Structure 1
Amino acid sequence: MSAGPDHGTVGVSDGKPGPAVSFAGHVLQVFKRVKVENLVAGLSGGVVSTLVLHPLDLVKIRFAVSDGLELRPKYNGILHCMKSVWHQEGLRGLYQGVTPNVWGAGASWGLYFFFYNAIKAYVKEGRHTELSATEHLVSAAEAGVLTLTITNPIWVTKTRLVLQYSSDSTSKQYKGMLDALFKIYRTEGVSGLYKGYVPGLFGTSHGALQFMAYEQLKRDYSKYKKIPSDTKLNALEYITMAALSKLFAVATTYPYQVVRARLQDQHNRYDGVVDVIRRTWRNEGAPGFYKGIIPNLIRVTPACCITFVVYENVSRFLLGPS
């Protein structure tokens, strides 16, 4: 975990804590600082943004896995993809996979803010200075790893449901989120539910970079305005900082999402992350790693803005002003 203040951890006979005792002590101290209000606020933001923008997530994933297989529908662009799905399956088709997406996004944002604020509080305890950009980065990365470990099975089911192309519900492999979870576990075991976990770990850098940029922008803006760093800003200010931080994170980390989606895809089989990278590079070149980035940017920028605005307002309502 990140370096923090000495909390008097009981150690071995020489007075120094052993590694296991020290780590357990750090974890315990972090969890003493968790606030359910952060979980509720983050969950609220994640659910609202997901319900509004799920169709663009569906488009992004379908483009991300478009590797030339005959069974995949061919799309000429974002609008063509959405119109094709609408004509075949209506609104229900555009919201295919929305249940695990809502669960996943709600849990991910909720747990992320939950862990992130607890880790920040632990690191900052006893200090009168703001955290540095590096400390925000490390705190966000640690929160991301914990969150991914809990939520990865939900993301696998979302990808599988989104990539069911048939309009005939009787021929679909999965009937819903729980059916997908049980079938994946029954046929592929725990490893099936954790497909894409390794590139997902690389993806924690996405959230870490985003949170680092967001916190830094808030701090710099407060200094520019000569106001306390915990002053409530207006919705437009939160939206601007959330959008800029998200664009920065997406631009630097997007390829991991393509690798992850392809590993979780039920229509193709890869032998791991390296195999995905090798085959994508050989068959599609560098552009292959950026398939779906346009619908992703169109989706995640407003999604992030909605999430952060809802989070900031719900957390302030629940916790009160700092």
Structure 2
Amino acid sequence: MARPSVETDTGSSRLYSMVRNIKWEYLVAGISGGVVSTLVLHPLDLVKIRFQVNEGYGVTKRPKYNGIVHALRSIARSDGFVGLYQGVTPNIWGAGMSWGLYFFFYNSIKTKMNEGDSKRNLGPGCHIMAATGAGFTTLVLTNPIWVTKTRLCLQYDKPGAPTSSVHYKGMADALFKIYKFEGIRGLYKGFVPGVFGISHGALQFMAYEEMKTVYNTYRNQAIDTRLGSAEYVVFAALSKMFAASTTYPYQVLRSRIQDQHREYGGIRDIVRQIFKYEGVYGFYKGLAPSLLRVTPACAITFVVYENMVTMLIKPS
């Protein structure tokens, strides 16, 4: 009778050890960074999405923009300042949850890999593996929010613009109506290109971690040494530009398949039509506003995150 008790105690000890090593501070810090950067830069995200779905064929009544500044002015002129923040609610939820969960899962996996020793250098391969695991888990949990954000960003109030048979009054209404009319599949539109997009986060975190490691090694200090905001800004911006430029086409595919104004026969059909009618350039539509947004957004997110971590987690 004693043996089950020993096994139960061992299992309880392992569970207690696992829970004790989980640092919820990473979740709070990630959410904080995602929310702050989204509030500051959402208008550029709105413009990026509208550029991504502008095929130049098929749907001809979309608003036409001659550039980023013209797009921002046109939206503000037709819809007011509030128009620049269409879809901001799901974007805040999505960005906050995504960054929070991503940092949380990433650091949990990384802690497991280095057995709790933050001074142990895992190397690029392990960083990519940790980021991939965190990215997939986060995508499964947040994809419905990103579908909602895209739908709300693509509601045009301008006369003559394309209209959908379903009008969304807000985030909750959009989630309900997408599920009602399209089911679970509707909430997970864009999931496949999103899976490919996991490589974006993996490359970004790998580059970010490696730059911090090289920098700390160069300065003859432990690789987990807390740095200043300036260093975090530079490393975050460079890693984001590297990852964004490398993996950007998946974002175009995801926006197109989530668009309520167009119907495609799947990812292959989107790729075929973009290549046929728009060429290679079509896969990079919206890259300029994307980089203008994601680079400072990433810098803001990481600076807020790293400083929150410094405040919340006591040095060991």
Q: Fold match, TM over 0.5? A: yes
TM-score (norm 1): 0.88
- 5 Å-filtered alignment, 1:140-219, equals 140-167=131-158, 173-219=167-213
Identity of aligned residues (%): 61
Flag structure 1 segments of 5+ consecutive residues without an equivalent. Answer: 1-9, 11-25
CA 1:97–1:27 in 2, change beyond 3 Å: closer, same or farther? farther
- For 1:44, the equivalent position in structure 2 comes to 32
1:278 aligns with 2:272: yes
Kindly provide the amino acid, as one letter, of the partner of residue 136 in structure 1: H
Which of these residues, 139, 154, 157, is aligned with residue 130 of structure 2?
139
Among 86, 91, 95, the alignment partner of 1:96 is 86
**Per-residue CA shift, 1:128-164, capped at 9, x if unaligned?**
7311111000100110000000000000000000001
Distance (whole Å) between structure 1 residues aligned to residue 34 and residue 102 of structure 2: 10
In the alignment, does 2:99 pair up with 1:105? no
Q: Residue 50 of structure 1 contacts residue 102 of structure 1 at CA under 8 Å; is this kept in 2?
A: yes
Q: Name the aligned partner's letter for residue 297 of structure 2.
A: A
| Structure 2 residues without counterparts, runs of 5 or longer | 1-6, 8-13
Whole-angstrom distance in 2 between the partners of 1:116 and 1:77: 37
Q: Which residue of structure 1 aligns with residue 72 of structure 2?
A: 82
Partners of 2:232 and 2:20 in 1: how far apart?
29
**Is residue 67 from structure 1 mapped to residue 55 from structure 2 by the alignment?**
yes
Provide the rounded CA distance (Å) in 1 between the counterparts of 2:138 and 2:231: 27
Q: 2:116 & 2:289 partners in 1: Cα distance?
A: 44
* 1:241 counterpart residue number: 235
Separation in structure 2 between the aligned mates of residue 146 and residue 279 of structure 1, nearest angstrom: 31
**Deviation sequence 1:5-51 (CA, Å, 0-9, x none):** xxxxx9xxxxxxxxxxxxxxx99987664321100000000000000
Q: TM-score, normalised by structure 2?
A: 0.90
Per-residue displacement from partner, 1:160-185 (whole Å, max 9, x unpaired)?
000011158x9981110011001100
- Give the Å deviation of 1:230: 1.7
In the alignment, the residues of structure 2 paired with residue 296 and residue 45 of structure 1 have an alpha-carbon distance, to the nearest angstrom, of: 18
Q: Report matched runs for 1:111-122 at 5 Å.
A: 111-122=101-112
Kindly state the Cα deviation for residue 234 of structure 1 after the two structures are TM-superposed: 1.0
- Asked if the contact 1:29/1:122 (under 8 Å) is kept, the reply is no
- SS state at 2:54 partner: coil
Question: d(CA) in 2 for partners of 1:250 and 1:38?
Answer: 23
The answer on 1:254 being equivalent to 2:242 is no
Contact 1:33 1:122 in 2 (8 A): no
Q: 1:306 aligns with which of 300, 305, 310?
A: 300
CA gap 1:32/1:277 in 2 versus in 1, 3 angstroms: farther
CA gap 1:230/1:76 in 2 versus in 1, 3 angstroms: same
For residues 216-231 of structure 1, the aligned pairs below 5 Å read 216-231=210-225
Structure 2: distance between partners of 1:42 and 1:76: 35
Q: How many Å separate the matches in 2 of 1:276 and 1:140?
A: 28
Structure 1 range deviating more: 288-297 or 67-76: 67-76
Aligned to 1:129: 120
Post-superposition shift, 1:275? 1.2
1:321 Cα offset (Å): 2.4
| Equivalence for 1:23 | none
The size of the alignment, in residue pairs, is: 297
- Check if 1:287 corresponds to 2:278: no
